[in-house]
Amino acid sequence: MKTMIKILGTLALLLMLALPAMAVDIPSEVTLFKNVNIFDGENEKLLQGYDVLVIRNLIKQVSKDIPTEGTYELDVKTGGVKKLNVDVGCMHHYTVYVAGEKEKTEKKEVKVNVIDGKRKTLMPGLIDAHWHTLYVNMLGLDPLRTEETDYIHAVALKEADKTLLRGFTTVRDLGGSCFGLKKAIDQGVCPGPRILPSGTHIGITGGHADYTESWNLPRSIDGSMDRFEQIESFRQVAGVPEMLAAVRYNLKRGASQIKLLMGGGVASTYDPLDVNEFTFEEVKAAVDVAKNWGTYVTVHIYTDEGIKKAIKAGVKGIEHGHLMSEEAAKLIAKNDMWVCIQPFDPDMPGALEILGPEKFKKYLEMANGFPKVMDFVKKYNINLAFGTDFSFTPQNNHTQANALTKFSKWLSNYEILKMATSTNAKYFELSGERHPYKQGPLGVIKPGAYADILLVDGNPLEDVSILGDNNKNISLIMKNGKIYKNTIH
């Protein structure tokens, strides 16, 4: 019993540390996971039979034998905590007597929501580093052209909920303005993952940002915005002043990083994959503005010429990169850049129907580059992020976490899980003060981290595929301390 009292004391102290100095604001309830095995997002060793205490939206304690009840006294003036010599508090309650100034003592009951983890694996929520909130639930690109904006947002919001329920508690959105959706999700108006937004895609006329008819004049010539620019999806810029304005506009709205479309794309009509978009000066201008705001630029590019230009301009992230040479891979490693490559499946169901024969040809060429680039990633130890880029094929969305298994030829299960949790989170730290979530780290299970937590049936370190198939093996999903799925009772 003596050991128990000591632990209770530590616990009460932790409760108190959650308070602003001298203010008595003890939460009315906390969550305690009992008896779980922990993959902490960083270390290969699974911690066996641990408990995790969550207070408000943060993880407060990770240790063995955290008690589910107890009675304490907390002295607000000195910060001292002592175990009271009274019977243990009610079942699944912490009773805290707050001793204030003079003799005034206040009694607080804290309900402890105990979750019996039954030795399931507790791990950080998954992170997708290349996501498009607005496109992921859209069948083909045409609705962007034809549908009302609020319809587009409603469809996106529905999928945001499903994304969270697949175990993805954070996404980095790499294009298509979703600042309002992000705000609504962060405020708890509707469920969804945390979003690190980029804002409107920035590209060029005739490039990967151009979905207009071939005879549509660029804005700088005829003075009108096209539909995709109107809905803040794709912006075509020409020259350094327009680039400066576009980047500053995205930052003004709350972008945590900047995304440029620097080369040919699969879904766009006019640019073959080998096309190199933007001048060096334009890219450099974007990098300079991002740096002024303490953040970074990442670029859509497949080929060497664009990659080399990006490196020279100070870009930090390569999105895709499927057609890079070994020489480019070496340069990426030398410059400590990040690669977020997608394991696109040449046999992806529905790809031919959605893309049509011309674009499908581009898709195949790009998708077939994946194994070679992964060889380079391994050989040169390149910083690798996990991001799916699922867009315009909602029939495949349920396989978001299945994409993890596509890296198994090159990475161990541990390396894959680390990539999709703490490594992605580390990459996002390049946003500096523009990072929207600064209360604690993401992607890890440790005191002070955000309480973004999955409870998984089985051990994903042994079989990473159990995270796939639309969350069927994920018993519990918590984001920011709130539970969104729980099949354990």
Applying CB under 5 A, what is the total number of residues that bind Zn ion? 1
User: Please, what is the minimum distance in Å from the beta carbon of residue 343 to Zn ion?
Assistant: 14
Question: Which residue, 73 or 389, has its beta carbon nearer to Zn ion?
Answer: 389
Which of 232, 282, 389, 452 is close enough to bind Zn ion by CB under 5 A?
389
Q: Decide if 16 contacts 10 (C-beta within 8 A).
A: no
Q: Please say which residue, 159 or 389, places its beta carbon nearer to Zn ion.
A: 389
Q: Shortest Cβ distance from residue 386 to Zn ion (Å)?
A: 14
How far is it, in rounded angstroms, from Cα 432 to Cα 382?
21
Terminal-to-terminal C-alpha distance of the chain: 29
Q: How big is the CA angle at 347 (ends 168 and 360), to the nearest 5 degrees?
A: 100
* Secondary element (H or E) of residue 379: helix 370-380
Write down the H helix ranges in 111-267.
142-146, 149-165, 179-186, 219-222, 227-230, 240-253
Q: Count CA within 13 A, CB hemisphere, residue 337.
A: 29
Binding of Zn ion by 159 (CB under 5 A): no
x/- site string to Zn ion, residues 331 to 370, per CB under 5 A?
----------------------------------------
Helix (H, G, I), strand (E, B) or coil at 356: helix
Rounded to 5°, the CA angle 159-370-272 comes to 85
Distances (CA, A) of 372 to 218, 317, 321, 409: 37, 19, 11, 12
Binding piece for Zn ion, criterion CB under 5 A, among 222-230, 304-312, 387-395, 481-489: 387-395
Q: Taking the complex as a whole, how short is the minimal distance between the CB of residue 189 and Zn ion, in angstroms?
A: 26
Q: Which stretch binds Zn ion (CB under 5 A): 149-157, 203-211, 389-397, 467-475?
A: 389-397
DSSP tag of 212: S
Closer residue to Zn ion, CB minimum distance, 50 or 135: 135
Q: Which stretch binds Zn ion (CB under 5 A): 180-188, 377-385, 388-396, 425-433?
A: 388-396
For Zn ion, the nearest residue by Cβ is 389
Closest approach, Cβ 175 to Zn ion, in A, equals: 6
DSSP 125: P
Binding range to Zn ion, per CB under 5 A, among 144-152, 188-196, 381-389, 433-441: 381-389
* Closer to Zn ion by Cβ: residue 210 or 389: 389
Interacting residues with Zn ion between 277 and 306 (CB under 5 A): none
Instruction: Give the residues lining the site for Zn ion (CB under 5 A).
Output: 389
